[in-house]
Amino acid sequence: MTSPTAAPPGKPPDASKLAASVVVCTHNGGHLIANAVESLLAQRLPAKDFEVVLVDNASTDSTPQVLEDLARRSPDRVRAVREPVLGLSSGRNRGVLASRGEVIAFTDDDSRVAPDWLSLLVDACSRGDVWCAGGPALPKLEGELPDWVTPRLQCYLSIWDKGDKEVELHYNEYPRGNNMAYARAAFEAVGLFLTCFGRRGRSLMSYEEIELGWRIERLGKRILFVPGASVRHIIETRRISPEWFERRFYWQGRSEAYFDLIHRGLRFVLGRCREHKRSAAEEARRAAAARGGDDLFARCYDRFRAGYSVGAARGWFTALPLRARPRPYRRPTPASA
């Protein structure tokens, strides 16, 4: 499926303006999300200026009840909505459709945000030419990462930091999904997240934020790294294994193949496949002389190449470039609210 689901029947959200909405999507994450909500309600941005929108994305456990309970505890600040179609991009789109803020920020159910997180992102996205901003994504671990998890692997755990200065970002280095915010005007201009990208079930498909960022940057709008707007997120123990990284790289390859087919065309994709074949022999030589994490990175990159080839073939034969069109977003009007 490559288009977001339609808004639920009934009234659209109240179109009265708030400075921001924070969207948190969860699938069976009820045991995690209370801590995320706690850190959001503790933001230094005045409570009257923002809302928290919790999106139940096709959960099959007690998560819907947990979200309703959180909304009842803070009825003026927290709302719970449901997206029945499984998929992170579908969930995020539901959050955009339900939100009222002029800036729409996103974090994850396993994250805790810094007290100034939202105010810094609102400030950045309120500049006329800035349509997206995000800050450092830092790990929350029970212990230390193993030595074999080298910096080249850490970014695949959503560990990301560009330093202590504001930096303008360009493709394909955009804010991470657990720490990003958009001016509402961005969705009005380029549409919603493409649902052929993003996590869905056991799939590790990604690239939905990068694909959206690409559309924004192509319009000449700025995307910023904001150093003080930090988020800490839990890194599950099951991810810290060579097998998980190999799976992650495979799906990264599939994601990038889809992106290239949609935005750059078949000729570009075929050229990149040829480059992968040429680089395979060189990577094999490097791996023979490498140790530890570098050897693992070489194996992972082999999986990336395989995923890219599969994604290219699957995307082309299913006519993905013709099907993958973002659903347009239209701001609710006071008359329709």
pLDDT of residue 4: 37
Q: What are phi and psi of 231, to 5 degrees?
A: -130, 140
Rg (CA), the chain: 20
- State whether 139 and 283 are in the same domain: no
Q: Check residue 117 and give its pLDDT.
A: 98
Q: Are residues 187 and 79 in the same domain?
A: yes
CA distance 113 to 72: 22
Q: Is residue 98 part of a domain?
A: yes
* 233 and 213, same domain (yes or no): yes
Looking at residue 264, what DSSP letter applies?
T
Q: How far apart are CA 222 and CA 204, in angstroms?
A: 28
Give domain status of residue 8, yes or no. no
Q: For the full predicted model, state whether its pTM sits above 0.75.
A: yes
Q: Look at residue 106 in the predicted model and tell me its pLDDT.
A: 98
Helices (H) and strands (E) in the chain, counts: 11, 11
pLDDT at 1: 40
- What gap in Å lies between CA 93 and CA 200, rounded to an integer? 14
In a domain? residue 3? no
Q: Could you tell me where the DSSP H helices lie in the chain?
A: 30-41, 63-73, 88-98, 117-125, 151-154, 184-190, 208-218, 242-263, 266-289, 293-317, 320-323
Which domain range does residue 260 map to? 242-322
Structurally, the chain folds into a number of domains equal to 2
Series of mean pLDDT values for 10-residue runs along the chain (337 residues): 37 66 97 96 98 98 98 97 98 98 97 98 96 96 84 91 97 96 98 97 95 98 98 89 96 98 97 88 60 74 96 97 93 60
Examine the domain organization and report whether 157 and 217 are in the same domain. yes
Q: Decide: 55 and 79 in contact? Cβ < 8 Å.
A: no
Angle between helices 242-263 and 208-218 (to 10 degrees): 30
DSSP-assigned beta bridge partners for residue 105: 22, 181
- The answer to whether residue 233 is domain-embedded is yes
Joined together, the tokens standing for residue 36 give 């995320």
User: Any bridge partners for residue 80, and if so which?
Assistant: 54
Q: Which residue has the tokens 């599969």?
A: 310
What pLDDT, on the 0 to 100 scale, is given for residue 288?
Answer: 55
pLDDT number for residue 332? 75
4 inside domain: no
Question: Same domain, yes or no, for 54 and 98?
Answer: yes
Alpha-carbon separation of residue 255 from 66, 258, 261 (angstroms): 32, 5, 10
| Contact assessment for residue 203 and residue 90, using Cβ atoms and an 8 Å cutoff | no
Give the pLDDT confidence score for residue 334 in this predicted structure. Answer: 57
Strand partners, 160: 137
155 and 60 inside one domain: yes
Pair 214, 300 in one domain: no
End position of a domain, from candidates 240, 256, 272? 240
What residue type is 102 in one-letter code?
Answer: E
Q: Could you give phi then psi for residue 194, rounded to 5 degrees?
A: -75, 125
End position of a domain, from candidates 240, 258, 290: 240
What are 95's two structure tokens?
């959050």
In a 13 Å sphere around the CA of 325, the CA atoms on its Cβ side amount to: 4
- Same structural domain, 247 and 234: no
The whole-number pLDDT of residue 141 equals 83
The answer as to whether 173 is a domain residue is: yes
Q: Can you give the pLDDT at residue 7?
A: 37
Same domain assignment for residues 78 and 154: yes
Which one of 197, 221, 240 terminates a domain? 240
Calpha distance 122→133 (Å, rounded): 9
Which residue do the tokens 């082309």 mark? 316
**Does the residue 12 lie in any domain?**
no
Pairing assessment for the beta strands 222-225 and 167-168 based on DSSP bridges: antiparallel
